[in-house]
Structure 1
Amino acid sequence: MNGGRENIGFNYGTVGGAAEDIELRAAVEDLTRVLRELRPHLAPDQARTVEGALPELTPDRSALRERGMVLASVAQIAATVGEVGRPAAEAVGRLLGLLG
Structure 2
Amino acid sequence: MATDYDSPRKTDDDVNEDSIEELKARRNDKSASTVDVDEFEQAEGLELPGADLSNEELSVRVLPRQADEFTCMSCFLVHHRSQLAYERGGQPICKDCE
Bigger Rg, which one? 2
Whether the TM-score (by the shorter chain) exceeds 0.5 is no
State TM-score, norm by structure 1.
0.21
State TM-score, norm by structure 2.
0.22
Larger RCO: Structure 1 or Structure 2 (Cα < 8 Å, ≥ 6 residues apart)? 1
